[in-house]
Structure 1
Amino acid sequence: MNQSDKLQKQTSAHLFNVDILVQGDSNAIAMERLLHALNQAGFADFRIQSGIELGRLIETLETSAANKPKDTKASKAGQKAEAAAAAPESNLTFSTERIKACIAENRLIRLTANKGFGKKLSMPCRIINLDEASQMITVYHVDEKQVYAFTLLEIEEFV
């Protein structure tokens, strides 16, 4: 094999900066579509530099907590009544706080989800996004290199 044959067999790598518009009902669903398309295309590597709306809810909660005035006795009584009414939602709130912590730490977790009809999925994954408005969670399966979206009600546990 001569030198010109070696040069013809080698492939070159090229880097492109591209803006892609992906439509979806939420940022999480659009990101899932984009990552699926990029993974299926067989690119050597890719990096998403913008458009990810992670941590926006945390920032909003932190700024609203900082702007909140000091409690008075009347507002404390109102908060006790609200806490009693929100007791069933406290478990969901606890779960969303744990999910937000996993997102912030980019923690590897094992998620168990019930997809219905007796189908359960158990997967090692990282949580990419949590959309509290639609109660959707987007996760990246580290073994399959696929992105999945679940509703919070489908999730049985995550460790």
Structure 2
Amino acid sequence: MKRQHSKNKTAYLFNVDILVEGETNAVALEKLLNVLNGGNFPDYRIVSGLEMGTLIANMRESAAEFRPIPVKVAAGNAAPPSGGTQAAKTKTDADQSRDPNGDPSINERIRRCIEAKRLIRLSVNKGYGIRLSIPCRILNFDETAQLLTVYHVDEKQVYAFNLYEIDEFSE
């Protein structure tokens, strides 16, 4: 706990862990931000967040079901040396994640924006003629549900959009 002095008030800095329940990570994060924004705190910082529950247990159980799939090498390509198999596999994965024009896939672009915490602008079509242009940072991307959770930097709100609602993605 650090003490900071101001005019008549003394400010204290606390490190806390808060468990927030919600249907999704985005909903739980939105609940937390609403509480923090409504609490008249001069400043706060959310350092990290993780999903609690049975996710790890489910992943361990499903890991036993996975089996390696043999990859056939094309007749024109020679088999890579045993030391280079990992590099060859990484290159193949990178090639598959690109579209025919050579650009990275949208999933890869989203992952890079999350890692770099890059400020982007999304053009979103909510339907019924409602279009939004949002300066934001991507917080989370659920590839299975195709759900993108973003933090609107102007409104200081968290929004969740389905990937099909996003018309444009500007970095």
Which band: TM-score by shorter chain? 0.5 to 0.7
* Consecutive unaligned residues in structure 2, runs of 5 or more: 1-6, 52-67, 75-98
The amino acid of 1:71's aligned partner reads V
Residue 29 of structure 1: how far off its partner (Å): 2.3
Structure 1 match to 2:38: 40
Highest RCO, 1 vs 2 (Cα 8 Å, sep ≥ 6): 1
The amino acid of 2:72's aligned partner reads T
**Would you say the 8 A contact 1:36–1:147 is kept in 2?**
no
Aligned length: 124
Q: Structure 2 vs 1, CA of residues 142 and 50 (structure 1 numbering), >3 Å: closer, same or farther?
A: closer
Displaced runs of 4 or more, over 6 A: none
Work out the CA distance in 2 between the residues paired with 1:97 and 1:36. Answer: 30
Give yes or no for the alignment of 1:111 onto 2:122: yes
Q: Structure 2 vs 1, CA of residues 105 and 49 (structure 1 numbering), >3 Å: closer, same or farther?
A: closer
Percent of pairs with identical residues? 57
Identify the match of residue 137 of structure 2 among 120, 126, 139.
126
Residue 28 of structure 1: how far off its partner (Å): 2.6
Residue 123 of structure 1: how far off its partner (Å): 1.2
Residue 14 of structure 1: how far off its partner (Å): 1.4
Residue 69 of structure 1: how far off its partner (Å): 7.3
Residue 125 of structure 1: how far off its partner (Å): 0.8
Give yes or no for the alignment of 1:94 onto 2:105: yes
State the TM-score, normalizing by the size of structure 2. 0.62
The amino acid of 1:41's aligned partner reads G
Work out the CA distance in 2 between the residues paired with 1:147 and 1:95. Answer: 21
The amino acid of 2:10's aligned partner reads S
Q: CA RMSD in A?
A: 3.0
Structure 1 match to 2:162: 151
**Would you say the 8 A contact 1:114–1:154 is kept in 2?**
yes
Identify the match of residue 25 of structure 1 among 23, 40, 43.
23
Structure 2 match to 1:49: 47
**Structure 1 or 2: larger helix share?**
1
SS of equivalent residue, structure 2 residue 17: coil
The amino acid of 2:115's aligned partner reads A
Q: Structure 2 vs 1, CA of residues 125 and 41 (structure 1 numbering), >3 Å: closer, same or farther?
A: same
Residue 142 of structure 1: how far off its partner (Å): 1.1
State the TM-score, normalizing by the size of structure 1. 0.66
* Consecutive unaligned residues in structure 1, runs of 5 or more: 1-8, 54-67, 75-89
Residue 33 of structure 1: how far off its partner (Å): 1.9
Work out the CA distance in 2 between the residues paired with 1:38 and 1:156. Answer: 31
Structure 1 match to 2:148: 137
